[in-house]
Structure 1
Amino acid sequence: MLVQLYLELGYFAAVNLVAFILMGIDKQRAKKHLWRIPEKALFLAVILGGGIGGTAGMFFFRHKTRHWYFRFFFPLLAVLQAAGLIYLYFI
């Protein structure tokens, strides 16, 4: 039971870190006018559990903040994912 908890929390931490890093990489590529990470890939990382990391990366790197669907859905998914974790582990 404890191993499963650690695996799930490890996955959650890893996918949030990946989402955060992807936002930073895409911002740097945008500044240099290089090939960009597709928006679908950024959303996929967030949908797979990286809502908090994606939202933090969006505001930390000031990236994709003009797109309403990023400003709305990234924080919404972060709240839903956090609420899901709280529900699963504390209720």
Structure 2
Amino acid sequence: MIKIILLAYLLLINIITYFTYAADKTKARQNKWRIPERTLILLALLGGSPAALLAMKHYHHKTRHLKFKLGIPIILIIQIIITFFLYPNI
């Protein structure tokens, strides 16, 4: 049961993350108020790093910022290591 809840959470946080990055890119193009970078990074830290990386590549968004260019992949790698440590039978 816990795996189903975890998978549902990860699916939801990744959907939210992807569309948040997309919305920020749209706002950037329209020269409107932007979503704070700390919010974008927090979403990645909360489990949305796969979607953050995908959105960065798809929308070419935040790809020049070193803290995103290196930070998001590092967050993803750490999350994968933690996942395999906590759930070795996956």
Shared fold per TM-score greater than 0.5: yes
Unaligned runs of 5+ in 1: none
- Aligned residues: percent identity? 30
Any gaps of 5 or more consecutive residues in structure 2?
Answer: none
CA distance in 2, matches of 1:19, 1:37: 12
Q: 2:28 aligns with which of 6, 27, 30?
A: 30
The alignment yields a C-alpha RMSD, in angstroms, of 1.2
Show structure 1 runs of 4+ deviating over 4 A.
none
In structure 2, the partner of 1:20 is: 18
TM-score, normalised to structure 1's length?
0.89
Please name the residue that 1:71 is paired with: 69
Alignment: residue pair count: 89
Structure 1 residues 19-67: Cα deviation after superposition (integer angstroms, max 9, x where no partner) = 1111100000000111110101101101111111111111111000000
Report the counterpart of residue 8 of structure 1 in structure 2. Answer: 6
* Post-superposition offset of 1:13: 1.4
Letter of the 1:24 partner, please give it.
A
Per the normalisation by structure 2, the TM-score is 0.90
**1:68, 1:29 → 2: CA distance?**
21
CA distance in 1, matches of 2:76, 2:18: 12
